[in-house]
Every structure is written in C-alpha cells, then in structure tokens.
Amino acid sequence: MNKPNPKPVGIPQIVVVGSINMDLLAVVHRLPRPGETVVSLGFEENPGGKGANQAVAAARLGATSVMIGRVGDDAIGQQLRRSLRESQVSVSNVRTTRGKSSGVALITVANFGENTIVVVPGANGALSPTDVAAAEATLQSADAILVQLEIPLETVAAVIDVARRHDVRLILDPAPACDDLPHDMLKVDVVCPNAVEAQQLTGVAINKPADAEPALKQLLRRGVRLPIITLGAQGAIFADEGEIHHVKSFPVDAVDATAAGDSFAAALAVALVEGQGNLAAVRFASAAGAIAASRSGAQRSMPTREDVDSLIMEGNRRSPADG
C-alpha cells in the first residue's frame, strides 16, 4: 500500500478517485439536432475528466488534494499528469496504463451554456479494485473521498467499501447517470445528482424544485444520509433531518456548464470537512458551481476560495439566507 500523503494540520485532505480526460470542446450557436451538422464557433483542448476536475477544484479551494486514477501511455497522458501537478494536486497515485490511450471527452457547448458530452474512457476503464487496494492507506487518511461513475462500477464499489471500513466521509457524484446502479452503492454519506441523474436513480421526473421532494425521500430510503439534487439556475434542493431545504442559485451569465457539477461536489466536500452546516455547505457548493458555469473550459473554470467567498458575500447583500 502507498503511504498516506502528509497533510498540514487544519487543512482538509480530499482524495478523489475517478476519471482523468482531455476535453475536446466545440462551441456552437446551438446544439445540433439528430442528423444535423452545425458549424463550430471555436475549438479548445482542455484537461478535464470528472475526477480530475474535482481534484483541481478541491486544491483551488484550499484543500490538500490527492488524485487516484489512470492515464494512457501517450502524449495526452503526460499532459494530463503535468496539468494536475501544476494545479497542486498530488499525482503519486495516478498510474500509467500501457497500451491504452488516455481518456477523452468530446464536448459540444452552445453559446448559452447547454452542452452534450461523449466520453471515451480509455485508460480510465482500467482503474480497478486492485488500484483502490494499493491506495487504501491514502484513502484511509482522507477527511473526505469523492468518487464518480466515469470509472468501472466495481472500482466505485471498492472505494465505497474502503470508506465504510475506515469510517471516512464519502461523496458520490452519480455521473454520468447509470440505470443499473446497485442499491447498496447509495448507502453513503452524500449523493449529489443533477435533475437528469436523479430521475435515472429514482424514476422521478424533476422540472422544478417542488418535483424533487419525492426523489429526495426515495434516496433517503435507499440509504443516502444527505441527498442533494442540483437544478442549475433553479438552485439546489436537499433533505436534512426530515426537512426539505431549497438553496437558490447565484445569478451568473452561464457560459459553459460542463464542470459546474464537479465544482459543486468538490466545494461541498471542502465545506463539510471544514464543519460548515449542511445548509451553509450546499450554499458554498452552489456558489462554486455557479462560478464554474460562468467560465469556459473544465479545470480552468474551477474557482478559488476567494472567488467563492466573494460571490457568497455579494449574494448575502442582495438577499436573505436560503432555507
């Protein structure tokens, strides 16, 4: 097993297990319909992947951030590893998979912020329970673990098992949505799907905040301690100690929502580890997600702690606290 990464006293250590991708992003006036070709307004190549995005976000928010994942033995893999290092993310648990390409995400973004994403897993598909076992000491030392579904489900299950055995807080971001997610995998501390993902988990269609309550209650019955559903411009809604809370969104001009959910999940982990109450933590995460949505790109859109604190202060001046 790897030795736990040393962490300064008082600084949260967030360990992220997940995907590391290169995002190939095309900007368009509007998303194409099936069978339609549209001309792009521009093209960008940005380091991404839900896991790597969350690791970078945690680091920018002031946490000690550790990434567990895999890249291919190609130039993209070297670039992805270098980008994580430059963002102050530990890559000692990022392995190279021989004979595999690195993960790639093909992203189309409309100029009003909506997007479509096709993920080519590449080396991410080789991240295995064996890798989790090799990093168990690192996971055990974490203040919180973040995991998503862009890696094999058996690997996600292994991460959840380690978190349970060592009583480490675990946040599951169930994205991309999975119809056949085993019920036992939802018996975790926090689950934070968006409306589409929540519908796939529960069968409940969510078009407005009031629609979310049945889905939240179902997630509670399935074992989630703190279920949160993000609703984009309509904010976030969560269940806590028998009550439903709606946190309003922070008004921003949406540019690219690709990594907004990743920013939300990482900020939520940091806030909860710091001891912020659930309501304050969801509000902090909502501010981080809003900032990410107001910027283009994935990892480069992740906000700093100063960015988030500033937006929350501005929101406090405009309106009273949510509840």
For position 5, what pLDDT does the model report? 47
CA distance 158 to 301: 30
Query: What is the enclosing helix (H) or strand (E) of 305?
Result: helix 305-318
**What burial letters (b/e) apply to 256-285, b meaning 16+ CB within 10 Å?**
bbbbbbbbbbbbbbbbbbbebebbbbbbbb
For position 258, what pLDDT does the model report? 79
Domain enclosing residue 293, as ranges = 14-32+42-315
Q: What is the pLDDT along the chain (323 residues), one digit of tens a residue?
A: 344 445 554 789 999 999 999 989 898 999 999 999 999 999 989 999 999 999 999 999 999 999 999 999 999 999 999 999 999 999 999 999 999 999 998 989 887 668 888 889 999 999 999 999 999 999 999 999 999 999 999 999 999 999 999 999 999 999 988 877 888 999 999 999 999 999 999 999 999 999 999 999 999 999 999 999 999 999 999 999 889 999 999 988 887 787 899 999 999 999 999 999 999 999 999 999 999 999 877 788 899 999 999 999 987 777 655 55
**What burial letters (b/e) apply to 202-236, b meaning 16+ CB within 10 Å?**
bebebeebebbbebbebbbebebebbbbbbbebbb
262 belongs to the catalytic site: yes
Catalytic residue among 173, 189, 262, 307: 262
pLDDT tens sequence across 174-187:
998 887 788 899 99
For position 115, what pLDDT does the model report? 81
What's the structural domain count of the chain? 1
CATH of the domain at 108: 3.40.1190.20
Residue 37 domain-assigned?
Answer: no
For position 114, what pLDDT does the model report? 80
SS3 148: strand
For position 321, what pLDDT does the model report? 53
Residue 136 domain-assigned?
Answer: yes
Taking every pair of Cα atoms in the chain, the longest distance, rounded to a whole number of angstroms, is 55
- Token duo for residue 243: 């009550």
pLDDT tens sequence across 50-70:
999 999 999 999 999 999 999
Instruction: Output the pTM of the full model.
Output: 0.90
Assign 3-class secondary structure to 97-135: ECCCCCEEEEEEEECCECEEEEEECHHHHHCCHHHHHHC
